[in-house]
């Protein structure tokens, strides 16, 4: 009888460097950039960068299913869309590890179960605080809401500026990128989708 082997997720399988190894890597990059990591102004920079990375990429330690686990079923039959808009989004481009800054608009149409609105904002953070592309980030937020809450529809729109375009490369500081993912009624019903887009564009 063949024994079943459980495949680890990429996060479970990764070899996490020590804090000291991470700090040494920062020192190497400082040297490569052309400065002296041992001069007074830079001596504590590796420690600060490692601390910042723990905050920037805290999403790897968060479980989106746990965040959405507590739901409410007694909602007096409410079945219209729930929208949280202008959620501040701070992520990092996986190609250059520079900031992606913008706003997320998240909506769903409940089917018996609703979740606290702060949980929607936290769900954005779970995936934003990882190395990302905006397209993947948008899909992850929407797909998780659909999978966990099983609502009648989900809509996610992200409007963000990419510092890989604004501070390097083409240097187009005025540009932003908009991505969207529509599921369920938001995809099937043009009126529902139009209502959502109208509501998120109102001040």
95 noted as active-site residue? yes
Q: Which of 93, 146, 163, 195 is catalytic?
A: 93
96 noted as active-site residue? yes
Distance CA 101, CA 161 (A): 5
φ/ψ of residue 42, rounded to 5: -115, -5
Q: Which of 24, 90, 96, 195 is catalytic?
A: 96
Tell which residue, 96, 98, 83, has the closest CA to residue 145: 83
105 noted as active-site residue? no
164 noted as active-site residue? yes
Sign of the alpha-carbon torsion through 60, 61, 63, 68: negative
What torsion, rounded to 10 degrees, do the Cα atoms 78, 87, 100, 17 define? -80
162 noted as active-site residue? yes
| R_g of the chain, CA atoms, integer Å | 21
Look up residue 138 and give its two tokens. Answer: 């948008």
24 noted as active-site residue? no
Q: Which of 92, 132, 140, 164 is catalytic?
A: 164
Q: Which of 20, 61, 66, 94 is catalytic?
A: 94
Which residues are part of the catalytic machinery? Answer: 93-96, 134, 162, 164
């Amino acid at each position: 009888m063949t024994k079943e082997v459980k495949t680890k997720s990429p996060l479970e399988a990764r070899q996490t460097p020590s804090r000291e190894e991470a700090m040494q890597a920062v020192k190497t990059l400082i040297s490569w950039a052309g400065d002296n990591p041992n001069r007074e102004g830079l001596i504590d920079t590796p420690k600060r960068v490692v601390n910042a990375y723990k905050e920037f990429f805290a999403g790897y330690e968060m479980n989106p299913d746990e965040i959405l686990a507590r739901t409410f079923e007694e909602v007096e039959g409410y079945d219209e869309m729930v929208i949280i808009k202008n959620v501040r989004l701070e992520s990092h481009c996986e190609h250059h590890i520079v900031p992606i800054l913008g706003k997320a608009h998240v909506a769903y149409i409940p089917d018996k179960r609703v979740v606290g609105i702060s949980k929607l904002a936290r769900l954005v953070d779970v995936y934003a605080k990882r190395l990302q592309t905006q397209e993947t980030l948008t899909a992850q937020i929407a797909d998780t809401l659909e999978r966990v809450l099983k609502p009648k529809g989900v809509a996610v729109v992200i409007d963000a500026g990419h510092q890989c375009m604004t501070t390097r490369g083409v240097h187009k500081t005025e540009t932003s990128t908009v991505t969207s993912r529509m599921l369920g009624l938001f995809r099937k019903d043009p009126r529902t989708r139009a209502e959502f887009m109208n509501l998120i564009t109102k001040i």
